[in-house]
Amino acid sequence: MPLEIVTVAALSDNYDFLVHDSETGATACVDVADAAPIRAALQERGWELAEIWLTHHHPDHIDGVAELKQATGALVRGSEADAKRLPPLDAPFTPGDSFTFAGHDVDVIDVPGHTIGHVAFHIPAAQALFSADSLMALGCGRLFEGTPEQMWESLGKLMVLPEETMVYSGHEYTAANARFALTIESGNEALKSRAEAITQARDEGRYTVPSTLGEEKATNPFLRAHLEQVKEAIGMADATDAEVFAEIRKRKDEF
């Protein structure tokens, strides 16, 4: 049976995720902004938490780990290379490796840019990508530690995944991201349609995460920096893909 994935809202605009295998009963949590809503979601469903997977060291993704581990005894996985900035790890991994959860392969993708130690988790059997603050719905994370070249390379690793992959990103920033995206490609019909759907969803109190990778490739300006029409739209027809990405990121930072 397929894995069940539950989006858990936390803080003002964070998303954490529960990944549940109904056959074994095993449940994992991706990032822990706040333990309380995760514990409530587990209790509501009668699930027991077995593992915690961490994408990066920022407080709004790890502050609830200690409480959640104390309450559940869950095993904590995170990048060995970033262990000094993460909560204590029970099962450190090397980005680029894989591990197994309830019989399912989980690929750890190295995606520096937002932070140097950022990783994403891809579960091929579930067509699920947990990208946190690397690839986001209609956006990408601000470059606090990495370079534009690093982030463009990181996004390239994600763009080659199947287009039906569901992208579970870390924040509800999508409405603001849509407004910015339209300043880059005002004539993109797919983007305009998506922006309207996002406005309606938020007006109705619905989440805009997850999205599909296909949607992102068709509408997310940060995944479209290599396209001629995007380069021409921002007056950089002869620039490299990474240079165009850097300019789009700069414009978003100032938006």
pLDDT in tens, the chain (255 residues): 679 999 999 999 999 999 999 999 999 999 999 999 999 999 999 999 999 999 999 999 999 999 999 999 999 999 999 999 999 999 999 989 999 999 999 999 999 999 999 999 999 999 999 999 999 999 999 999 999 999 999 999 999 999 999 999 999 999 999 999 999 999 999 999 999 999 999 999 999 999 999 999 999 999 999 999 999 999 999 999 999 999 999 999 999
**Number of domains within the chain:** 1
Q: In the chain, what is the greatest distance between 2 CA atoms, to the nearest angstrom?
A: 56
51 Rama class: left (phi>0) / alpha (psi -120 to 50) / beta = beta
Residue 164 is encoded by which pair of tokens?
Answer: 């039906």
- pLDDT score, position 1: 60
Angle between helices 241-254 and 174-184 (to 10 degrees): 120
CA distance 86 to 207: 28
Residues 6+ apart with CB under 8 A from 28: 18, 19, 49, 50, 51, 52, 53, 101
CA distance 134 to 137: 10
Residue 14 is encoded by which pair of tokens?
Answer: 């964070």
* Structural domain of 8: 4-254
Report the 3 state secondary structure along 137-161: CCEECCCCCCCHHHHHHHHHHHHCC
Q: CATH number for the domain including 214? A: 3.60.15.10
- pLDDT score, position 217: 98
- pLDDT score, position 2: 79
Residue 249 is encoded by which pair of tokens?
Answer: 């990121």
Q: What is the chain's length?
A: 255
